[in-house]
Amino acid sequence: GAVVSQHPSWVICKSGTSVKIECRSLDFQATTMFWYRQFPKQSLMLMATSNEGSKATYEQGVEKDKFLINHASLTLSTLTVTSAHPEDSSFYICSAQRGRGPGFFGPGTRLTVL
Amino acid sequence: EDKVVQSPLSLVVHEGDTVTLNCSYEVTNFRSLLWYKQEKKAPTFLFMLTSSGIEKKSGRLSSILDKKELFSILNITATQTGDSAVYLCAVELNYGGSQGNLIFGKGTKLSVKP
């Protein structure tokens, strides 16, 4: 159990376009989903926390108008990178948590903006 | 400022060796401490620790938490080449009873040579 999927696995896009990344908990209902970003050789940095049906809470320094998060249901959260630029190129990972248990990570999405 | 510090940052050992990875933390509202193993993609969950002095064990891996001295260790005995990975320590914060978020350390890169 506790499987989390992300789609797509990798995406290459042109500067100025928007990219949507989906995170799904496949076999459990996630009360909370977290979005992280990881740059090469660095640790995971939390971007935002989202609870189903409410607005996401963004970490300091993360632009909420640029990184749109929609937590539509207990099994699906989406992160949309709007007007992506090369500096947004990174590895984006979601984590889904049920109750007070540990978060389970999706396999991540590699975003490359040309 | 909440922080999680792992040491060493990098470690090279030979198969069969025993290693100890360290994680210390300074946070305002501790809920739990988690260990993850990250190979090529997203981290996989190893242990979740909430109480001091209780060792958690899974095969050759074990971990313990000291909430008085604010640290945790992850032990790996009889290391194998498959243990080569980055080991991440994360502290989950407790935000007023709602779901917390994770603050990650930079990780310890373990390389096990045959």
State the CB neighbour count (10 A cutoff) for residue B85.
19
| Closest Cα in chain B, distance from residue A36 (Å) | 10
Residue contact B105–A34, C-beta within 8 A: no
- B35 forms bridges with which residues in the sheet? B47, B89
| pLDDT at res. A41 | 73
Length of chain B: 114
Residue contact A104–B99, C-beta within 8 A: no
Q: Positive or negative CA dihedral for B76, A91, A4, B49?
A: positive
Q: Residue B69 region, left (φ>0) first, then alpha (ψ -120 to 50), else beta? A: alpha
Q: Is A107 on the interface with B (CB under 8 A)?
A: yes
Residue contact A97–B36, C-beta within 8 A: no
Do the Cβ atoms of A51 and A65 come closer than 8 Å?
no
Contacts of B96 (CB under 8 A, 6+ apart): none
- pLDDT band at B100, cuts 50/70/90? low
Query: In angstroms, rounded to a whole number, what is the distance separating the alpha carbons of residues A85 and A81?
Result: 9
| Closest Cα in chain A, distance from residue B13 (Å) | 20
What is the pLDDT averaged over residues A23-47? 87
Q: Is B93 on the interface with A (CB under 8 A)?
A: no
What is the pLDDT averaged over residues B86-94? 89
State the CB neighbour count (10 A cutoff) for residue A74.
18
What is the pLDDT averaged over residues A85-95? 93
Between B42 and A14, name the one with better pLDDT.
A14
Question: Would the pLDDT of B99 be above 50?
Answer: no
Residue whose tokens read 């928007």? A18
